[in-house]
Structure 1
Amino acid sequence: MKTSLIISIFISIFFLACSSNDNLIITSKNEKYGVFSSKENKFIIKPIFNQLSFIDGINANNTNEYLLYEYNNYFGIISLDKVIFKPVFKKVSKFYNKLAVVQENDKFGYIDENLNLVQKPIFKDARDFLFDVSFVQSFSNNKYACIDKNMNLITDFSYDEIYSFSNGFVRFKKDNKWGFLNRKCEEVVLAKYDFVYDFIDGVAKVIDGEKIYFLKQDNLK
């Protein structure tokens, strides 16, 4: 089935060298999507896909157009002249800081803005690179670690829970206590509170037993 799909894609593409100024439009025919060139007044990628969308946030120096397509509930990536990824992904996220999360079966990894698979899907979970660091989850102990854009682990897999960045800080849970990480994955507030809330306008509410405190992000201890 997938072999015939790839053949169909290449037949549809015909290795055309079109650029972004060709007025390319994603449109549908018989409930399938393709790419229509208003300049050439024809489909340059035939409407054979269930979903199709241009990919934003990739290498600005690359003038080619790249598209995310869905076929039989799986996603792949094509350009106007070749197949980049066959339809093997359950998920392809948006690009943040030149990286996107991909999911293959039940495992997560990353592709970069040049559409290279820079991290093979091996993690139970992987988060977007909103800054220069992100977080991945291990299958072995179900805990999270911090990772940099070169796919190097900055911390070990020791965090029970990791939340999203808020005001440049991430709240985490470790050994049933809560603390904060900064954008460098440094523990600027150790895991010592019973619960913490996100920083909002530079202030975070924290709970320590029956006591409630308010931390200021410019005076963390």
Structure 2
Amino acid sequence: MPKVILTIGGLLCCIVIIVTILQSQSNPHSSCTIKKGKQPLFPVHIDGRSGYIDREGSLVISTQYKEADKFYEGLAAVAMEKFPWDKPKWGYINYCGEMIIQPRFDDAYAFHEDRAIVAIGNRYGLIDSNGRIIVNPRFDKISKFDQGTAHVLLDGKEFYINKFGEAVKPQLDLSTINDLVKAESEGKWGFVDKLGHFVIKPKFESVEQFSEGLAVVQINGKRGYINQVGHIVIPPRFDGAATFSEGLAAVEIDSKWGFINKRGEVVIKPQFDHAYYFVDGLAQVFLGNSMGYVDTQGKLVWQPTE
């Protein structure tokens, strides 16, 4: 009898192991995401090669790639070549640097809604996060998915597809729209509500979508910010301005980019040739063609490199 109990116990143990393996295979990057998902990673370039740093600026995935993109939905597109003279092929890694989807594509983009756009030759298709080709590359162009549909171009015709490549009519879920939507009328820009009614009159030369309660507007060639009732809260005085993210926005003053807070105060002095919005505490900044990262206090956690 003890031998029988031991056999059953061993069998149960084997079943648990098999189930665990199958679960990991069904989503091979999940365990790594759980382990390192709370620590975002950022692509960097050193001497023509790309790798990833953490928020403190430590190199955690070596510069082994020809090109590297940002992480989305736990995966990042990277380009590698077998030999220096080869044309790079694109695949996807997880947060641990493990190659989850082998490099076999001529181009690859970030995942959105469990679909990534990939190219074979000059035709584009879709894969899922396990690397399975869901839509064979046959389109001239595919946009990223939004609410389950993507805009495509095929032989001069434009239409929308679902996640399986079937032609559909896009259905906008208005309940997901929290902010006003920019709209143009007679050459001027304003904002409409969910029903398409202008609630901020079209009187601006250009606008950007609202972010964190403020929107970029342009008046007489200068950019500033309005709130959601249309009041100017940061007067248009900037040559360039980006949307707010994590309480800060990149602005251009005298051909250099820095960052302001929501009171319009310069908190990171203009010193960069270009700057992008903050994500997970860091923003990309450029000096010439060299890219680095700055934190919200203005500290360069990664000196600009090419």
TM-score band, normalised by shorter chain: 0.3 to 0.5
Which has the larger helix fraction? 2
